[in-house]
Amino acid sequence: MAANLYCTFRLDRHLFGIEVERVQEVLRSQSLSRVPQSSEVVEGLINLRGQIVTAIDLRRRLHLPERADGEEPMNVVVMTDDGPLSLLVDEIGDVVEVEDDTFEVPPETVTGVARELISGAHKLEGQLLLLLDTERAVALPAMTP
């Protein structure tokens, strides 16, 4: 049986995972430079050791409630075809190893935009690990005028 490693993080009450090989690094909250007239999901730009990286708020991307005032997001920097991109999450979790035989299609309770961005799920003890399709998650929706 094959096993897969996922870097986990929390958004709202949900546990998400991204394949470890897609994650460049995880960082505490970084200062952001706003980007005028950008997509509503773009929170801003961070300076990552001289490299400018776009930060996407995954709560907005998944249509989850806004973060409470004073709660600082964490950064999961992922590798994309266009270079590194930061996903803003509530809390960084652990790296977990899951077996292929625990994989399931996204549950029916996952609806809307989240359904398009979740590639599947793994049942862990007492919780469900939702697998984020990073390619779809970083493909920004068309801006609304």
The answer to whether residue 52 is domain-embedded is yes
Query: Is 109 within a domain?
Result: yes
CA distances from 71 to 28, 68, 89, 93, 115 (A): 12, 6, 11, 16, 26
Cite the beta strand spans of 31-116 per DSSP E. 42-48, 51-57, 74-80, 83-89, 91-99, 103-104
**Tens digit of pLDDT per residue, the chain (145 long)?**
567 999 999 999 899 999 999 999 999 989 999 988 888 899 999 999 999 999 999 999 998 999 888 889 999 999 998 899 999 999 999 999 998 888 888 878 777 787 889 999 998 888 899 999 988 888 876 544 4
Regarding pTM above 0.75, the answer is yes
Is residue 105 in a domain?
A: yes
Query: Would you tell me how many other CB atoms lie within 10 Å of the CB of residue 31?
Result: 8
Is there a domain that residue 145 lies in? Answer: no
Q: What is the pLDDT of residue 144?
A: 46
Q: Is residue 144 part of a domain?
A: no
Rg value, the chain, Cα: 15
What's the confidence (pLDDT) of residue 145?
42
Calpha distance 97→5 (Å, rounded): 5
User: Does residue 26 fall inside a structural domain?
Assistant: yes
Number of compact structural domains in the chain: 1
In a domain, 142, yes or no: no
Element housing 55 (H / E): strand 51-57
Question: Using alpha carbons only, what angle is made at residue 28 by residues 91 and 16, rounded to the nearest 5 degrees?
Answer: 30
Looking up residue 8, the CATH number of its domain turns out to be 2.40.50.180
Tell me the residue range of the domain where 42 lies: 3-136
Q: Could you tell me if residue 104 is inside a domain?
A: yes
The tokens describing 81, both together, are 């075809």
